[in-house]
Structure 1
Amino acid sequence: MRFETLAIHAGGDPDKETGALSPPIHLATTFEHGPAGERRAGYEYLREGNPTQDRLEQMLASLEGGERALAFASGQGAMIAALQSLPTDSEVLVPDDCYTGLRVLCSEFLPEKKIVARTVDMGDLALVASACSERTGMIWAETPSNPRLKVADIAGLAAIAHERGALLACDNTFATPALQQPLALGADIVMHSTTKYFGGHSDALGGALVFAKNDDLFATVAHRRHITGAILSPFNAWLILRGARSLPARMAWHCRNARDIAAFLSGHEAIETVNYPGLAQHPGHAIAAKQMRDFGGMMSLQVAGGREAALRVAGKLRLIRNATSLGGCETLIEHRASVEGANPVSPPNLLRLSVGLEHVADLIEDLRQALAG
């Protein structure tokens, strides 16, 4: 079954009781069982599992080509569940350019379990290979990365990880399975902030892990989610399930708009650099073209003139909104260094742009007036 068809039908079987084509929402927190705890319908308590979540997880596994999936209350919850599944005294390699939340997890929370996080440029396979040690239990990739849109060779990283008996986990939030399927390239775990493109409407918080195999690793993380309670609400599960049905169509529009905007910005005198893997001059363009179906709706621009010039541009925009998050219908921009906390690592002139579904001519006109003089 082709991806576009799968997105509509995975997890979307008609309701057995009513025949409804729209999946029902089961909001119950508890389910009837027998006097000795017999699960009459397979469920006991919301934190352990529920029918709406099951549909979502079936859909996520199908779209990523995995055997099992787990939904979480947030992308951050999904990340920490995967990372803390590593044994005590192990090591994880993480990208030098990555989501701020991952950086904080590695510096503040993994040390509590004596897990050491080491930073490496994931675009340099030789460097990654040399950074591995006998303690390395996982390589965590993020491609394209947040916010510089660096590209990593997923198949190459998988080969390095597996040669050393380690796992490869890949944050696929920016690309989505509509554009890239890391499990097919050798990854063991795929992570998503489903808040973003899966939900697609900036109204449902969620996260997910998709596992290549239904094995002990999956069971370990599933048990951790059950006991720690990082469960997704049924209503948000339903919203994300609904959003996934239009994912292929939305991603095509996001990509189309982003290509035109990247072309406009890359030729503008007020722009120092456009970080977008769809541009031929992007350092990761060849790898992105090899492992992605299209180049996505995310980019970042580095404004000539430094931090103050970047803030002036962001402040002059009329249609494009200054806001955190990405992947919604509306176009958003954000000065990343300003929101990264006490120790920002993004370039001070960098603005991250999540290209939405508006008419591209309106977006370009807004950017043009903001960049003028």
Structure 2
Amino acid sequence: MKFDTKSIHAGANGNNPNNALNPPIFQTSTFVFDSIDQVKKVMAFESDDYVYTRGNNPTLRLLENRMAELECGNAAVAFASGMAAISSTLFSFLKPKDTVIVHKTLYGSSFNVVTKVLPQYDVNYKVVDMTKTDELEKVIDANTKVIYFETPSNPNLSIVDIKKVVEVAKKNDIKVVVDNTFATPYFQNPLEMGVDVVVHSATKYICGHGDVVAGIAVSKDVDYINTLKFDYMCEFGGVMSPFNAWLLLRGLKTLGVRMRQHEANAMKVAKFLSKHPKVKSVMYPGLEEFEGHEVAKSQMRGYGAMISFEIDGDLETAIRVVDNVKLIKLAVSLGDCETLIELPAAMTHSGYPKEELVKFGLTESMIRISVGLEDSEDIIKDLENALSNI
């Protein structure tokens, strides 16, 4: 099946109660048994029956199966949030004295987990520019167990060459974890390039409607996914609700359609911004002049809908822009039908040290846009009006 078909049908067994077209929400915490013999079989994984929703649930299982197929994996774990998926995956691979290497530009909360939380458990970290593979190779040592990055990265859209990083990692027996939130499985499948685990903030494009907080981890290694689910997701308790899983299944039905329109709008917005006299630079992988364009073109099937840009001014000038949009909404998050705008240094990435922003690929005057599904002319007109205030 092609992507649009799989996003609607993958993982379903066709046995919905009362011949319902859509799967029901199994809104239950507990499942009952006919006998102790049945309990033994379930506990020994000799049966696909359910025990307790913290471990599994029919609605969650359908979502996990569908996401596994869309990401070209063999199994997945649903989490209560993207950060639950990211932190649990990192904890599952790391122990005291180990080292994780991360790309210099990460989502703010991911950066905080790596630089503030993991060190409390005696886990070390190194930050490197992974767009330069030779720099990555220089910092690897015997304690390095995980390489973690986003591509495109949040918020400067830097592109990491997945195949090159995997090649370096495999030579050193290191696990590679990639956050695929910006690209979605519609535009990119890191598992097909040798990555060990793909994580998503499903809150974003997987949902698409701004009404769910959720996360997903996908791998080709079924044994690892079972460990991640039962030793980490279950025990840490980052459990997705059946209702949220159902909402994500609904969102997935239109993922391909939405991503095509998101990208079409983003390309028009990016070209508008790149020609505007008050815009200093535009960060969008779809622009030929963008530094990571060729790598993105080689490993992605499209360029997504996230744009960051630098205005010709300082922080106060950037604030004036975001304060003067009307149609576009000032908010954190991304991937919704609505176009959203924010200042990363003051919002999603406020945990980064202000005096070192440039080192991490950020500036105080950087503006990030999640281009939505409104008419592109309306989005551009709103930006044009806001930019006229500076």
TM-score range, shorter chain: over 0.9
Correspondence for 1:150? 158
Match of 1:138 in 2: 146
Alpha-carbon deviations, 1:93-133, whole Å to 9, x = none?
A: 11101100111101221113221111011111111111111
- Describe the SS at the equivalent of 1:178: helix
- Following the alignment from structure 1 to structure 2, what is the Cα–Cα distance between the partners of residues 275 and 76? 25
Asked if residue 341 in structure 1 is aligned to residue 350 in structure 2, the reply is: yes
1:128 is matched with which residue?
A: 136
Relative to structure 2, which stretch is displaced further, 103-112 or 303-312? Answer: 103-112
Instruction: Kindly provide the amino acid, as one letter, of the partner of residue 243 in structure 2.
Output: F
TM-superposed deviation, 1:2:
1.2
Q: Hey, what does 1:64 align to over in structure 2?
A: 71
Structure 2 distance, partners of 1:258, 1:176, is 15
Distance of 1:188 and 1:21 partners within structure 2: 35
What residue is the counterpart of 2:307 in the other structure? 299
Q: Say if 2:200 is the partner of 1:192.
A: yes
In structure 2, what is the equivalent of residue 178 of structure 1?
Answer: 186
Which stretch of the first structure deviates more once superposed, 332-341 or 319-328?
Answer: 332-341
Superposed, 1:215-230 pairs within 5 Å as 215=223, 217-222=224-229, 223-230=231-238
Where does 1:291-330 land on structure 2 (aligned, <5 Å)?
291-330=299-338
- Cα RMSD over matched residues? 1.3
Distance 1:302 1:108, change over 3 A: same
Where do 1:234-249 residues align within 5 Å? 234-249=242-257
Is 2:7–2:253's contact at 8 Å kept on the other side of the alignment?
yes
Residue of structure 1 equivalent to 2:294: 286
Q: Deviations over 1:155-176 (max 9, x none)?
A: 1111111110001110000000
Letter in 2 for 1:130: K
CA positional deviation for 1:289: 0.4
Contact persistence 2:16–2:22 (CA under 8 A): no
Which residue number corresponds to residue 49 of structure 1? 56
Per-residue CA deviation, residues 21-56 of structure 1 (Å, 9 max, x unaligned), is 211100000000245335587111111110000000
* Residue 376 of structure 2 is aligned to residue 368 of structure 1: no
Question: Any idea what the Cα deviations from partners look like across 1:236-281, whole Å, max 9, x if unmatched?
Answer: 0010111011000000000000000000000111111111011111
Deviations 1:160-202 (A, max 9, x none): 1111000111000000010000000110100000000000000
CA distance in 2: counterparts of 1:302 and 1:321, whole angstroms: 19
For 1:30, the equivalent position in structure 2 comes to 30
> What is the identity percentage for the equivalent residue pairs of Structure 1 and Structure 2?
40
Tell which deviates more after alignment, 258-267 or 222-231.
Answer: 222-231
**Whole-Å separation in 2 of the counterparts to 1:95 and 1:156:** 14
| TM-score normalised by length of structure 2 | 0.93
Which deviates further from its counterpart, 183-192 or 217-226? 217-226
Deviations 1:260-309 (CA, angstroms, capped at 9, x unpaired): 00000001111111110111111100000001111000011111111111
Checking the alignment, whether the CA contact within 8 Å between 1:31 and 1:43 is kept in structure 2 is yes
Q: Structure 1: how far apart are the matches of 2:288 and 2:301?
A: 15
CA deviation profile, 1:67-101 (whole Å, cap 9, x unmatched)? 11000000000011011112321111111011001
Query: Does the 8 Å CA contact 1:187/1:212 hold for their aligned counterparts?
Result: no
Q: Gaps (5+ residues) in structure 1?
A: none
CA distance in 1, matches of 2:103, 2:139: 12
Q: For residues 79 and 170 of structure 1, do their structure 2 counterparts lie closer, same or farther at Cα, with a shift above 3 Å needed?
A: same
Against the structure 1 CA distance between its residues 175 and 41, is the aligned structure 2 distance closer, same or farther, given a 3 Å change threshold?
A: closer
Q: Secondary structure at the match of 1:299?
A: strand
Q: TM-score, normalised by structure 1?
A: 0.97
User: 1:224 deviation in Å?
Assistant: 1.1
Q: Is the 8 A contact 1:274 1:302 kept in 2?
A: yes
Unaligned runs of 5+ in 2: none
1:106 aligns with 2:114: yes
Larger mean CA deviation between 355-364 and 37-46 belongs to 37-46
Match of 2:15 in 1: 15
| Length, aligned pairs only | 372
Match of 1:262 among 270, 290, 295: 270
- Is the 1:149–1:275 contact (alpha carbons within 8 Å) kept by the matching residues of 2? yes
User: Post-superposition, which runs of at least 4 consecutive aligned residues in structure 1 deviate over 6 A?
Assistant: none
Quick one: which of 87, 95, 120 aligns to 2:95?
87
Determine helix, strand or coil for the equivalent of 1:273.
Answer: strand
